[in-house]
């Protein structure tokens, strides 16, 4: 059995947060944000919307496009760093409940911005080992819940949203995911971190005062490692599979910063038309950014049957991953 990428869907919350809005909250400017990141807007979920609410909407779109009902799904994997609940229950269980399905495995994975590629790797393994047939993978984030809106170095970067995909079993090798690489280096654990409220530093008055339950990032240091790691990672996976970069129809990188994805695209000598960029619109939506970008491509009518996608992500941990994936909707 092989694993095929059947469909994609996404959900974007309705509230827009512009650079001009942020100018009123912290000491920043549209000029700085645009020049350093390429971001113009990001979307923010309502107070009463949680991560699973975003994820379930994306999942419904992906299911419909795969012509499947929720009951046809054998497993749900949700990648998130902003789960509905601290520790338990998992956001995947909440999504299953909201889809009206039970008695299937549903679990979250924590691989930060690389989460969607990690979820894809797991779905592929379950399918190729004949343990599952149709798997829903979701990257969903309500990052506004863990962003410190008094910290200008992070609050301008992140947004909310969700993306989902159906990965299905096939006997046709031409439809199959070609390769996936996932990796990590925990030596960089404190470059991107929510330092408080875990077992290392349980929730207390002190963690509240220190804003320790919010994301902190060593931005410039992370930037340098991200460019180098992402570039090496995509070059390696293409070489390993004997695929020239001009054969890639769509390079869909994690959308953290326009300068990062541009540097990687240039190293691969990709044409502008091959690179999918949505960071200006959505900001950094962590595990949701790749499927959200892919969804936009699909809705613009640019993602066709058999198109070869190169995915690439980097995030907290550090974690990273890449994948070569043909778009293989079922007939
Ligand atoms: O998604 C997971 C992986 N994440 C990433 O890969 C993100 C990686 N990092 C980045 O994208 C960039 O490093 C940032 C966008 C976060 C920052 O850009 P930078 O070019 O690396 O800027 P910097 O951190 O070196 O800061 C330059 C200056 C500093 O001022 P001084 O020390 O030069 O006076 C900062 O205090 O910009 C200042 N600064 C700001 N100014 C206005 C930092 N944030 C802001 C801000 N508005 N929002």
**Would you list the domain boundaries of the chain?**
1-331
How far does the centroid of ligand 1 lie from the alpha carbon of residue 38, in Å? 12
Q: Cβ(255) to ligand 1 under 6 A?
A: no
How confident is the model at residue 59, as a pLDDT? 98
| CA 33 to ligand 1 center in whole angstroms | 9
- The highest-level CATH class for domain 1-331 is alpha beta
- 119 exposed, middle or buried (CB, 10 Å; 0-12, 13-18, 19+)? buried
Cα–Cα distance measured from residue 142 to residue 114, given in angstroms and rounded to the nearest whole number: 16
Q: What is the pLDDT of residue 330?
A: 83
**Radius of gyration (Cα) for the chain, nearest Å?**
19
Q: Return phi, psi of residue 17, to 5°.
A: -115, 115
pTM: 0.97
* Distance (Å) from CA 81 to ligand 1 centroid: 21
User: In the chain, what percentage of residues exceed pLDDT 70?
Assistant: 100
pLDDT at 39: 98
Query: Is 254 part of the annotated catalytic residue set?
Result: yes
Alpha-carbon dihedral sign for residues 54, 57, 63, 69: positive
Whether the per-residue pLDDT at 331 is higher than 90: the answer is no
Return the pLDDT at 278.
98
| Rounded Cα gap, residues 266 and 56, in angstroms | 36
Q: Is 219 in the pocket of ligand 1 (CB under 6 A)?
A: yes
Q: Among 78, 93, 113, 213, which one carries the catalytic annotation?
A: 113
pLDDT at 255 over 70: yes
Q: Give the tens place of pLDDT for each residue, 166-214.
A: 999 999 999 999 999 999 999 999 999 999 999 999 999 999 999 999 9
| Percent residues over pLDDT 90 in the chain | 99
Return the H-helix or E-strand segment holding 120: helix 115-128
Q: In the annotation, is 93 catalytic?
A: no
């Amino acid at each position: 059995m092989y694993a095929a990428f059947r469909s994609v869907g996404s959900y974007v919350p309705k509230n827009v947060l512009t650079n001009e809005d942020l100018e009123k909250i912290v000491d920043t400017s549209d000029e700085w944000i645009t020049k350093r990141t390429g971001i113009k807007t990001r979307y923010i979920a309502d107070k009463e919307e949680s991560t699973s609410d975003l994820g379930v909407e994306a999942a419904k779109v992906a299911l419909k496009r795969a012509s499947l009902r929720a009951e046809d799904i054998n497993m749900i994997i949700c990648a998130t760093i902003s789960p509905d609940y601290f520790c338990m229950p998992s956001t995947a269980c909440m999504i299953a409940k909201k889809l009206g399905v039970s008695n299937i495995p549903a679990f979250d994975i924590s691989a930060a911005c690389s989460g969607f590629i990690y979820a894809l790797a797991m779905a592929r393994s379950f399918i190729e080992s004949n343990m599952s047939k149709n798997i829903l993978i979701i990257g969903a984030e309500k990052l506004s819940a863990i962003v410190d809106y008094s910290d200008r170095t992070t609050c301008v970067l992140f947004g909310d949203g969700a993306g989902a995909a159906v990965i299905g079993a096939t006997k046709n090798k031409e439809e199959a995911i070609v390769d996936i690489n996932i990796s990590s280096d925990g030596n960089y654990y404190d470059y991107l971190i929510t330092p408080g409220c875990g077992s290392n530093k349980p929730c207390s008055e002190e963690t509240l005062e220190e804003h320790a339950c919010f994301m902190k990032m060593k931005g410039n240091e992370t930037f340098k490692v991200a460019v180098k790691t992402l570039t090496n990672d995509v070059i390696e996976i293409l070489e390993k599979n004997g695929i020239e970069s001009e054969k890639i129809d769509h390079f869909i990188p994690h959308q953290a910063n326009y300068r990062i994805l541009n540097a990687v695209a240039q190293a691969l000598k990709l044409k502008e038309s091959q690179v999918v960029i949505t960071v200006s619109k959505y900001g950094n939506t962590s595990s949701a950014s790749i499927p959200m970008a892919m969804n936009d491509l699909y809705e613009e009518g640019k993602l066709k049957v058999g198109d070869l996608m190169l995915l690439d992500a980097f995030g907290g941990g550090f974690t990273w991953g890449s994948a070569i994936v043909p778009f293989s909707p079922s007939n």
